[in-house]
């Protein structure tokens, strides 16, 4: 029987073994409701405080507060509910595009890099200082893996007294995040992208800023996110963050070797393959490609039958396969339904601790990819 190969880590990272153990230990402590003042309630509060401290250390957030949410999507919605004037890039995750409710969209180039000149000209012409403007640009794109020039975005935005948010769900665990250096005002994170369970995310915000809650009730999370906290999710996020901190650095050299090895095989076997964002600065684990004559949904089904679990470029919305707005924004409109994303483990630690992907498997995958083209000619 052929081993199933999972290459959809940008969608979710399997729960790490150490994280699973921490969840079991947490459940054995007892009924942990942090709102209770007795022993078990205090234990729950200690878990939350410890998790916030570790996550802040991981991203060097010395002057920030953290609000735990059910996901990065909820964190984004909470943040955006505080602003009427939001400017976003054209390649943002649907959580940003849908909740921002804005027509102020910054274009990108053929590699998916934000047009900084357009951003500056737009802010210079349109910013109304009486109505606080929020600029939101994702740190790493979930489809292409392209890294945005966040420091330059912040510099331009601050010039016009705007606040700045970055969706860092796809950056955490893949590249270094240092909030002391970037001077972002807001950051949103997702636990299951680094090996924690699903159902836990976070909003990180400058402690000099005030926000209004979106969900009202018992006043948990300093009044910003009412509802009994997801202790197991928070414990899992905490453990995954600690594992990243315990590595001397976020090493992705082996992951990049495998990604590049597969890329070269694909180029050799299928010269017609389009590689999106190839000449841009990308995270090591992500590859988005397309064959001009092969629909993405067909490619996914064929590869799944060959025991390869991958996704379409636009696979982050309730199991749907639709045209990729990212590819469309990059100027490849005719290929917006053809893209397929191969996302390897986010870093070498997760690669080595979970399941070692072999070059033999990648050889077979490249062969299957080339057969897709042959069967549609």
Q: How far apart are CA 266 and CA 275, in angstroms?
A: 10
Cβ contact 342:303 at 8 Å: no
* H helix intervals, 127-220: 150-159, 179-182
Q: How far apart are CA 288 and CA 278, in angstroms?
A: 9
- Cβ contacts of 209 within 8 Å, gap of 6 or more: 163, 185
Residue 148 DSSP label:
P
**Predicted confidence (pLDDT) per residue in 318-344, tens digit:** 556 678 999 999 999 999 999 999 999
Q: How far apart are CA 175 and CA 252, in angstroms?
A: 9
pLDDT at 130 over 80: no
DSSP string, 223-287: TTS-S---HHHHHHHHHHHHHHHHSSS---HHHHHHHHHHHHHHHHH-TT-EETTTTS-B-TTEE
Q: How far apart are CA 263 and CA 275, in angstroms?
A: 9
- With CA atoms as reference, report the closest residue to 241 among 180, 194, 193, 187: 194
pLDDT at 72 over 60: yes
The model's confidence at residue 101, banded by pLDDT at 50, 70 and 90, is confident
| Ordered structural domains, the chain, with CATH | 5-14+250-376 (3.90.1150.10), 17-246 (3.40.640.10)
Cβ contact 289:276 at 8 Å: yes
pLDDT at 376 over 70: no
pLDDT confidence of residue 128: 77
**Predicted confidence (pLDDT) per residue in 268-295, tens digit:** 999 999 999 999 999 999 999 999 999 9
The model's confidence at residue 313, banded by pLDDT at 50, 70 and 90, is low
pLDDT confidence of residue 263: 98
pLDDT at 308 over 70: yes
**Predicted confidence (pLDDT) per residue in 29-43, tens digit:** 999 999 999 999 999
- Phi-psi sector, 164: left (phi>0), alpha (psi -120 to 50), beta: beta
The model's confidence at residue 356, banded by pLDDT at 50, 70 and 90, is confident
Q: How far apart are CA 216 and CA 36, in angstroms?
A: 19
Query: What is the chain's mean pLDDT, rounded?
Result: 93
pLDDT at 250 over 90: no
pLDDT confidence of residue 352: 85
pLDDT confidence of residue 236: 98
| Annotation says 162 is catalytic | no
Catalytic residue among 26, 252, 316, 368: 316
**Predicted confidence (pLDDT) per residue in 5-25, tens digit:** 999 999 999 999 999 999 999
pLDDT confidence of residue 322: 78
Helix or strand holding residue 125 (H, E): helix 116-126
Cβ contact 115:90 at 8 Å: no
**Predicted confidence (pLDDT) per residue in 221-238, tens digit:** 998 999 999 999 999 999
pLDDT at 248 over 60: no
- With CA atoms as reference, report the closest residue to 176 among 59, 90, 97: 59
The model's confidence at residue 70, banded by pLDDT at 50, 70 and 90, is very high
Q: How far apart are CA 38 and CA 204, in angstroms?
A: 29
pLDDT confidence of residue 375: 65
pLDDT confidence of residue 285: 97
């Amino acid at each position: 029987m052929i081993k199933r190969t999972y290459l959809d880590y940008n969608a979710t990272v399997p729960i790490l073994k150490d994280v699973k153990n921490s969840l079991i230990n947490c459940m054995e402590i007892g009924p942990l409701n942090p709102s209770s003042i007795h022993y078990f309630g205090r234990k729950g509060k200690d878990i939350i405080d410890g998790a916030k401290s570790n996550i802040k250390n991981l991203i060097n957030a010395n002057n920030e507060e953290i609000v735990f949410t059910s996901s990065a999507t909820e964190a984004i919605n909470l943040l955006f509910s505080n602003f009427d004037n939001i400017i976003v890039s054209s390649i943002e995750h649907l959580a940003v595009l849908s909740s921002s409710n804005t027509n102020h969209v910054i274009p990108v180039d053929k590699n998916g890099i934000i047009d900084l000149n357009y951003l500056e000209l737009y802010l210079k012409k349109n910013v109304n200082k009486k109505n606080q403007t929020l600029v939101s640009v994702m740190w790493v794109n979930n489809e292409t893996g392209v890294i945005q020039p966040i420091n330059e975005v912040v510099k331009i935005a601050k010039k016009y007294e705007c606040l700045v948010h970055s969706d860092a769900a796809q950056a955490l665990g893949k590249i270094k995040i240092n909030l002391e250096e970037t001077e972002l005002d807001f950051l949103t994170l997702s636990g299951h992208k680094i090996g924690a369970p699903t159902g836990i995310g976070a909003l990180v915000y400058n402690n000099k800023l005030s926000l209004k809650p979106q969900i009202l009730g018992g006043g948990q999370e300093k009044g910003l996110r009412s509802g009994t906290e997801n202790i197991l999710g928070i414990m899992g996020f905490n453990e995954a963050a600690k594992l990243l901190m315990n590595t001397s650095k976020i090493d992705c050299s082996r992951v990049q070797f495998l990604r590049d090895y597969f890329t070269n095989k694909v180029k050799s076997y299928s010269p017609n393959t389009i590689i999106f964002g190839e000449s841009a600065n990308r995270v090591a684990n992500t590859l988005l490609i397309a064959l001009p004559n092969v629909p993405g949904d067909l490619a996914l089904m064929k590869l799944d039958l060959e025991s390869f679990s991958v996704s379409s470029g636009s696979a982050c919305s309730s199991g749907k396969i639709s045209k990729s707005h990212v590819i469309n924004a990059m100027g490849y409109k005719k290929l917006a339904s053809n893209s397929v994303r191969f996302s390897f483990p986010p870093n070498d630690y997760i690669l080595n601790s979970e399941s070692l992907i072999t070059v033999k498997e990648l050889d077979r995958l490249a062969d299957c990819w080339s057969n897709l083209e042959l069967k549609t000619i």
